Amino acid sequence: MSPVTEVLFRQIYFTGVQALPAITITGLLIGLIIVLQTVAIAGAGSVNIIIKILLWLVLKEIGPFFTGLIILTRSGSAIVTELATMKLGSEIKYLEAMGIKPEVYLINPRFYGVVFSAVILSIYFQLTALFGGVFLATLISGLPFLDYASALVFHFSIKEIVVSFLKSLVFGFSISLICIWQGISVMKSPTEIPQRATRAVTGSFFSLFITDVIVNIVTRIIE
């Protein structure tokens, strides 16, 4: 295994695998809350309406956004701190002196690792919220699980899946690019590290909102 591949796998492990507990708990709770609140409004017999609302919220809005938010809070600040510390410690200069390109060894693995993890975690989050939320709701409220699960499968829309995938991909791009840029932009003082981390988190957070709005507008125009 090459050193670059090893760094990529480490980034995927940190950003993706280690985030699974937070993703699982968040997905289950959000799915459960959506189902219970929708049942309280529409009634337990309105299976199709409840499932349509659940799919729309989880696939198009909540799933990609919350996944990006969890990745940002866990991995974004860590990437900024790691790269900034390496730059201030002249480790990047040492790599260049040894003929190793920093963009190949440091930047690319983190970029691709975050983007890949964002897409995979978003898919996992959505499946957990949809089927796990429905399952928990059936345990708590006695709803017919098979009816709700069948309705979930029946009402799956290719369009919503494509929009969800697109958002997850763009969220991963924006988070990784902003955090990497802030990390390598540190200049001379160690006090810049927390400042850069704060800028990366706030900038990425706003980029999630802006990207979400842009994707929604584009999909509405296409429709």
SS (H, E, C) the chain: CCHHHHHHHHHHHHHCHHHHHHHHHHHHHHHHHHHHHHHHHHCCCCHHHHHHHHHHHHHHHHHHHHHHHHHHHHHHHHHHHHHHHHHHCCHHHHHHHCCCCHHHHHHHHHHHHHHHHHHHHHHHHHHHHHHHHHHHHHHHHCCCHHHHHHHHHHHCCHHHHHHHHHHHHHHHHHHHHHHHHHHHCCCCCCCHHHHHHHHHHHHHHHHHHHHHHHHHHHHHHHC
* Host domain of residue 69: 3-222
Tokens representing 166?
């697109």
90: left (phi over 0), alpha (psi -120 to 50) or beta: left
CB 51 within 8 Å of CB 174: no
Question: pTM score, two decimals?
Answer: 0.88
Q: Given this model, what pLDDT does residue 223 score?
A: 61
**What is residue 91's predicted lDDT score, i.e. its pLDDT?**
79
- Please state the domain count of the chain: 1
Residue 223, number of CB atoms within 10 A of its CB: 6
Q: Are 186 and 84 in contact (CB under 8 A)?
A: yes
pLDDT digit of tens for each residue in the chain (223 aa)?
677 888 889 999 999 999 999 999 999 999 889 888 888 887 767 778 888 888 888 887 888 899 999 999 888 889 999 988 888 887 778 877 887 787 888 889 999 999 999 999 999 999 999 888 888 888 887 778 788 888 888 877 787 788 888 889 999 999 999 999 998 888 877 888 888 889 998 999 898 889 888 887 887 777 6
- Cα–Cα dist 150/32, whole Å: 17
What is the model's pLDDT at position 161?
82
* pLDDT for 175: 93
- The rounded distance, in Å, linking the Cα atoms of 99 and 193 is 26
Query: How many CB atoms sit inside 10 A of residue 73's CB?
Result: 15
